[in-house]
Amino acid sequence: MLASVSEWIVAQSVDDIEKIDEAIETSTATPLEITVAIGIIVLSWPASALFARLAKRISRRVPGTPDYVPDLVGRATRWLVVLIGIAWAMSLLGVDVGWFALVVALVAVIVFLMVRPLIENLAAGLLLQSRPSFGVGDEISTNGYVGEVLLISARSTVIQTRDFKRIHIPNQDVLDNPIDVYTAFDRRRSSIELGVNYAVDPDVADGVLVEAVRSVDGVLDDPPPSVRVRGFGDGSTLLQVRWWHDPDLRSENVTRDRVVRAIKRSLDEAGIDMPSPEIKVTGGLNIDEAGNAGTG
């Protein structure tokens, strides 16, 4: 079985080599055609550099083009001109350019598969910069990271976290996952939930909480703070306190700290209790007079 397969592979290889040899038959080419073909190949290199510079110059004139795009366009143009020159020269020598095109296509597919992740990130970076949902200086949350955008490069989006870590996230991952843009608008809302004693009138608690939050530095007056009743717990009424602040993460953290402190002080002054959670301990240890432990 293996011998048969090997013979078939050898036969196919010989057949393919014969076809390629037939395609590269140049015995009919004249000395003039050979000279012209060599000249075309030699001239294709300076011509490729000229066309590459022209392509880069044109791409730079397109509004909003990232800095890395002209270089990519120039390199691609240069190699394209060189390949066209080689194909033209081979056709003058009587070579079947169809075979050459097939080889070039095969190489292009292999190269594409090898650099596909890079191409995807480059395309994603171009999309992020040309139609931005966020920009440098925005604070975002994506792929499990939260921080300020420092750079949107050709391959990755760079953010700095609150604890001063620099994170490089591939652009394709940024596009493929949800993005929270905290600084998309000029304000943002935060909230906390708490419980007050069931005997307390929710309207009374509402007034105390709103006044406490309104007095906090950093809480915006428009829209004003508000309280919503969320339900009932074990002997308590569950309330949600809402307030608005500047959109950046620091404002959120600072106002949350101040709001919690102000709420605690105001509820204590008003004599409104927040029921403590009950903690039940089962299966504890009993210590007898001799110091021996046993389960209770």
* Section 226-245 average pLDDT: 92
Long-range contacts of 223-229 (CB under 8 A, 24+ apart): 223/189, 229/202
Q: What angle do CA 17, 21, 27 make, to 5 degrees?
A: 170
* Section 181-208 average pLDDT: 93
Q: Where in the chain is CATH 3.30.70.100?
A: 188-270
* Section 211-229 average pLDDT: 95
Structure tokens at 124: 């994603």
pLDDT at 93 over 80: no
Beta carbons of 40 and 81 less than 8 angstroms apart: no
Structure tokens at 177: 């996952």
pLDDT at 133 over 80: no
pLDDT at 287 over 50: no
Query: How far does Cα 73 stand from its chain's mean position?
Result: 24
Which CATH fold topology does 139-181 show?
SH3 type barrels. (2.30.30)
* Section 161-168 average pLDDT: 91
* Section 37-62 average pLDDT: 80
Tell me what pLDDT residue 254 has.
Answer: 95
* Section 64-83 average pLDDT: 72
Taking Cα atoms as reference points, which of 219, 222, 226 lies closest to residue 259? 219
Instruction: List all residues 6 or more positions away from 116 whose beta carbon is below 8 Å from its beta carbon.
Output: none
Q: Is 136 helix (H, G, I), strand (E, B) or coil?
A: coil
Structure tokens at 212: 């406490």
Least confident of 21-30, 41-50, 76-85, 169-178: 21-30
Tell me what pLDDT residue 83 has.
Answer: 79
pLDDT at 197 over 50: yes
Tell me what pLDDT residue 284 has.
Answer: 45
Q: Where in the chain is CATH 2.30.30.60?
A: 139-181
Q: Identify which has the larger pLDDT, 293 or 157.
A: 157
Q: Identify which has the larger pLDDT, 117 or 260.
A: 260
Distance CA 258, CA 214 (A): 11
pTM: 0.55
Taking Cα atoms as reference points, which of 215, 230, 218, 227 lies closest to residue 266? 215
Could you confirm whether domain 188-270 is CATH 3.30.70.100?
yes
Q: In the structure, what pLDDT confidence band is assigned to residue 283 with cuts at 50, 70 and 90?
A: very low
Distance CA 243, CA 223 (A): 8
* Section 266-290 average pLDDT: 66
Beta carbons of 86 and 107 less than 8 angstroms apart: no
